[in-house]
């Protein structure tokens, strides 16, 4: 026996279509919201981690790093050295090795940043002329790091350093500049416009 169901009225048909339509729309809207939420989360997590990474360790990048035995540096010699950046990632490779120049005069050491004080190009030491020279814009510095000629308005920046147990250490982790309290070479004034800069 075939049982026949009564044909729904037009009102019932419209109601049924409306219920199905709203359900489909609601489902798709929830799926869209979920996908947008996942994308927002994927973008936000790295940004938040980056912004919060420095909290609680403002100077953790500054560390005393050994650069060699003090006896390895001869009196009157300027020597190119390389030290490992104290804050590195496994994928940094050779880029984490930072060059610098060490000059010894008697028992006094000076550790120069390799970067020109003009625009940061790496300077080269020429022992024949006893000068540091910048290949980018012609900046020249004397052996003690003071400005000789060219566009730089001051001498080379230097790292804080110390000698302990016959080892030479520098305060590494950043390139010294005016903005991070670099040590000024004696007798050299700050660049124009930075007269209010003090070093504590």
pLDDT in tens for each of the 200 residues of the chain? 556 667 777 777 777 766 656 677 778 888 999 999 999 999 998 888 888 766 655 555 567 887 888 888 888 888 888 888 777 777 887 887 888 888 988 888 888 888 888 888 889 888 888 889 888 888 899 888 888 888 888 888 888 888 888 888 888 766 666 555 444 444 444 433 333 333 33
- Whether 5 maps to a domain, the answer reads no
Does residue 155 fall inside a structural domain?
yes
Same domain, 75 and 171: yes
Same domain, 88 and 110: yes
Per the CB < 8 A criterion, the answer to whether 80 and 72 are in contact is no
Task: Report yes or no: 121 and 137 within 8 Å, Cβ to Cβ.
Answer: yes
Look at residues 175, 177, 184 and name the one whose alpha carbon lies nearest to residue 155.
Answer: 184
Residue 30 lies in a domain: yes
CB 79 within 8 A of CB 110: no
Q: Is residue 93 part of a domain?
A: yes
The answer on 43 and 115 residing in a single domain is no
Q: 145-183: b or e for each residue (b if 16 or more CB lie within 10 Å)? A: bebeebebbbbbbbbebeeeeeebbbbbbbebeeeeebe
User: Do 166 and 72 fall within a single domain?
Assistant: yes
198 within domain boundaries:
no
Beta-carbon count within 10 A of 84 CB: 14
Whether residues 46 and 140 fall in one domain:
no
The single residue listed with the structure tokens 């000068």 is 131
pLDDT of 174: 67
- Any domain includes 185: no
pTM above 0.75, yes or no: no
Same-domain status, 87 and 42: no
Has residue 29 been placed in a domain? yes
User: Is 182 in a helix, a strand, or coil?
Assistant: coil
- 124 and 25 in a common domain: no
Residue 174 domain flag: yes
For residue 66, the model assigns a pLDDT of: 79
| CATH (domain of 160) | 2.102.10.10
Residue 124: which domain range? 63-180
Name 79's Cβ contacts closer than 8 Å, sequence gap at least 6: 73, 101, 102, 103
Looking at the fold, whether 113 and 169 belong to one and the same domain comes out as yes
Indicate if 44 and 106 belong to the same structural domain. no
Which helix (H) or strand (E) element contains residue 99? strand 97-105
Total number of domains constituting the chain: 2
């Amino acid at each position: 026996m075939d049982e026949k169901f009564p044909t729904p009225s037009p009102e019932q048909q419209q109601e049924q279509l409306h219920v199905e339509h709203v359900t489909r729309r609601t489902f798709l809207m929830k799926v869209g919201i979920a996908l947008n939420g996942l994308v927002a989360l994927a973008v936000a997590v790295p940004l938040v981690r980056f912004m919060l990474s420095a909290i609680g360790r403002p100077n953790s990048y500054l560390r005393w790093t050994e650069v060699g035995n003090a006896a390895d540096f001869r009196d009157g010699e300027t020597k190119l050295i390389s030290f490992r950046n104290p804050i590195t990632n496994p994928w940094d490779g050779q880029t984490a090795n930072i060059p610098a120049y060490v000059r010894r005069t008697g028992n006094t050491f000076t550790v120069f940043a390799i970067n020109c004080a003009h625009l940061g190009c790496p300077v080269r030491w020429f022992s024949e002329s006893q000068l540091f020279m910048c290949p980018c814009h012609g900046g020249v510095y004397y052996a003690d790091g003071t400005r000789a000629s060219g566009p730089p308005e001051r001498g080379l920046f230097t790292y804080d350093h110390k000698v302990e147990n016959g080892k030479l250490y520098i305060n590494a982790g950043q390139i010294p500049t005016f903005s991070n309290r670099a040590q000024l070479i004696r007798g050299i004034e700050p660049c124009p416009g930075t007269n209010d800069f003090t070093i504590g």
